[in-house]
Structure 1
Amino acid sequence: MDEVKVVVAHSQRATLRVGDVFLKVDADQARIDVEVEAMSLATVPTPKVLWRRPPVLAITALPGAVLGRLGGPSTASPAAWAAAGAAIRKLHDAPLPPWTGRAGRSPGDLAADLDGECEWLVTNGVLPADLVTRNRQVAQAALRPWAPAFTHGDLQIAHVFVDGDEVTGIIDWSEAGRGDALYDLATFTLGHEKHLDDVLAGYGTDIDLDVIRAWWSLRSLLAVRWLIEHGFDPFAPGCEVDVLRSRM
């Protein structure tokens, strides 16, 4: 019998791997609804849905390997990063889904949440006040009007699979929907700034780099408390706190 491997687990969801099958267990079936629908609409390769029996969704494994991981080096070639950029552009150019995703929150809502998180980080001594203040200033550039695109919403590099220089698929679509395309690009390059030029070469259009940098700060500030409370370490080398320090 194949070994059961825990891919990720926290209080909201867990993903297990048994051979070439992934089993996603989620307490919120609305997230699974979004994931299944988004994969059916996406214009890039995605896992195949094998079956669904709430609270479990079974999907196939993708060929190849992840492009990289936050906090670790990527051994993928510049051509692979460029291919990922082209795949992201293809997704962003696809017909819009009928719902708003994680990347589609309004500037006003984001600003309110950001101010609350910044206050929590300083009040509880999690991060120095000057580090939080500087990144809050940088993050402001992301709080602007944007044209909606079909966004993944959680486009970490560990969610993109490649085989050589070819993208073989993208996983974890539960946050997908209409949103800001630059949020996806920033999430994808978070902690891997040196690969941004390769990604944008594949993406193939002019991008406001100040907004990308703003999203790096904004996403990291919003993530620190959630990561700590769910058993992850944003202070690990190359992760969110290092991203914030790099803005100083």
Structure 2
Amino acid sequence: MDEVEVVAAHAERATLRVGDVFLKVDADQARIDIEVEVMSLAPVPTPEVLWRKPPVLAIAALPGTTLGRLGGPVTGSAAAWAAAGAAIRKLHDAPLPPRPGRAGRTIDALAAELDAECESLVANGLLPAGLVTRNRRVAQAALRPWTPAFTHGDLQIAHVFVGGDEVTGIIDWSEAGQGDALYDLATFTLGHEERLDVLAGYGTDVDLDVIRAWWSLRSLLAVRWLVEHGFDPFAPGCEVDVLRSRM
């Protein structure tokens, strides 16, 4: 009998693996609906949807392995990373999905959220004021007009699977929708600045200063949520180290 493996779990949702099947449990049915819809539109390999019975979505496991994880070592050849870049570019160039995603928040909304979060981080003693202030300045470069693209919204390297030098699939699409393409690239390279060679497959028309700004912005917005949900943004190579690297 297959064992049940807890892949990820927090107060909002959980993902379990039983053999070759992943079970995503989410009390917010809208997120599941978005995930299924967007996977059907994405022009890149995605998991097969096996069945849906709210609040559970069952999807098939993907072949291959991930390219790594935040705070851990990365794997894959330069060709595999270039293939990932090409897949991301194909996604960003696809016809837009019907609604904004995580990467599609307005500039004003992001700025207000960022200012409030920075104030909270300092007031609650989670991070030193100097670290927050420096990264808030760096993050400003991400708050600029952008052309909407088809974005994944949570494109961590742990969500991209490769076999050999080919992408076999991309998982976790609940945050997908119209958004800033550079947010995806920043999420994909967060904590692994040395792997900006992904741009060999993506293309060179990328503003690296904006990607670095998104590293700061995304990390500032994540720290408190991660702490409150039982994760450790202070672990080596994770969000706080990303913020320190900007000093």
What RMSD over aligned residues (CA atoms) do the two structures have, in Å?
0.5
Alignment map for 1:158-197 (pairs within 5 Å): 158-196=158-196
Tell me which residue corresponds to 1:238. Answer: 237
In the TM superposition, residue 30 of structure 1 has moved relative to its aligned partner by: 0.5
SS in 2 for 1:226: helix
Asked if residue 214 in structure 1 is aligned to residue 202 in structure 2, the reply is no
In the TM superposition, residue 58 of structure 1 has moved relative to its aligned partner by: 0.3
Distance 1:214 1:99 in 2: 25
Q: Which amino acid aligns with 1:211?
A: V
Tell me which residue corresponds to 1:199. Answer: 198
SS in 1 for 2:220: helix
Question: 1:80-114 CA distances to partner (integer Å, 9 max, x unpaired)?
Answer: 11111000000001110010000000010000000
Q: Which amino acid aligns with 1:166?
A: E
Distance 2:154 2:75 in 1: 21
Distance 1:123 1:74 in 2: 35
Asked if residue 92 in structure 1 is aligned to residue 92 in structure 2, the reply is yes
TM-score w.r.t. the length of structure 1 is 0.99
Distance 2:239 2:90 in 1: 28
Tell me which residue corresponds to 1:229. Answer: 228
SS in 1 for 2:246: coil
SS in 2 for 1:210: helix
Asked if residue 102 in structure 1 is aligned to residue 102 in structure 2, the reply is yes
Question: 1:126-183 CA distances to partner (integer Å, 9 max, x unpaired)?
Answer: 1110000000000000000000000000000000001111110000000000000000
Tell me which residue corresponds to 1:2. Answer: 2
In the TM superposition, residue 205 of structure 1 has moved relative to its aligned partner by: 3.3
TM-score w.r.t. the length of structure 2 is 0.99
Distance 1:172 1:113 in 2: 24
Q: Show structure 1 runs of 4+ deviating over 3 A.
A: none
Unaligned runs of 5+ residues in structure 1 are none
Tell me which residue corresponds to 2:36. Answer: 36
Distance 2:134 2:58 in 1: 43
Q: Which amino acid aligns with 2:198?
A: V
Q: Which amino acid aligns with 1:206?
A: D
Distance 2:152 2:21 in 1: 22
Distance 1:231 1:5 in 2: 18
